[in-house]
Structure 1
Amino acid sequence: MLVHLMLELYNCDRELLSNEPLIRRVLDEYPGRVDMEKVSPVHLYDIETSNPLDAGLSGFVVIAQSHISLHAWPEYGEVDIDICSCKEFSQEDAIAFAKEMFQTDDVESHFVVRATRSLRPEEPDPVRFAEAMAARRNRAASLAPAEVG
Structure 2
Amino acid sequence: MSEQVTFQSHEDRIVGKHVFGNLYDIDPEDLNNEQLLKDLVLKAVEIAHMNLVEAKSWSFGGKKGGVSVIALIEESHIALHTWNEYNYATLDVYTCGEDSDPQAAFKFIVEALKPRRYQVFFADRSSS
TM superposition score normalised by structure 1: 0.67
Runs (5+) with no aligned partner, structure 1: 118-149
Distance 1:46 1:116, change over 3 A: same
**1:1-22, Cα deviation, whole Å (9 max, x unpaired):** 3221112111111111011110
> Does the 8 A contact of 1:14 with 1:75 survive in 2?
no
CA root-mean-square deviation: 1.8
Q: Which residue matches 2:50?
A: 36
Residue identity (%) = 28
TM superposition score normalised by structure 2: 0.77
Q: How does 1:51-130 map to 2 (within 5 A)?
A: 52-88=62-98, 89=101, 91=103, 93-116=104-127
Quote the Cα distance in structure 2 between the aligned partners of 1:96 and 1:3.
14
**Relative contact order (C-alpha < 8 Å, sep 6+): which is higher?**
2
Alignment pair present for 1:5 and 2:15:
no
Runs (5+) with no aligned partner, structure 2: 1-14
**Which amino acid is the alignment partner of residue 55 of structure 1?**
G
Quote the Cα distance in structure 2 between the aligned partners of 1:80 and 1:86.
20
**1:21-59, Cα deviation, whole Å (9 max, x unpaired):** 10111121111121111121x2001235xxx43211112
Distance 1:39 1:90, change over 3 A: closer
Distance 1:68 1:90, change over 3 A: closer
> Does the 8 A contact of 1:58 with 1:69 survive in 2?
yes
Number of residues of Structure 1 aligned to a counterpart in Structure 2: 112
> Does the 8 A contact of 2:23 with 2:119 survive in 1?
yes
Which of the two has greater helix per residue? 1
Q: Which residue matches 2:5?
A: none
Greater Cα radius of gyration, structure 1 or 2: 1
Quote the Cα distance in structure 1 between the aligned partners of 2:41 and 2:102.
17
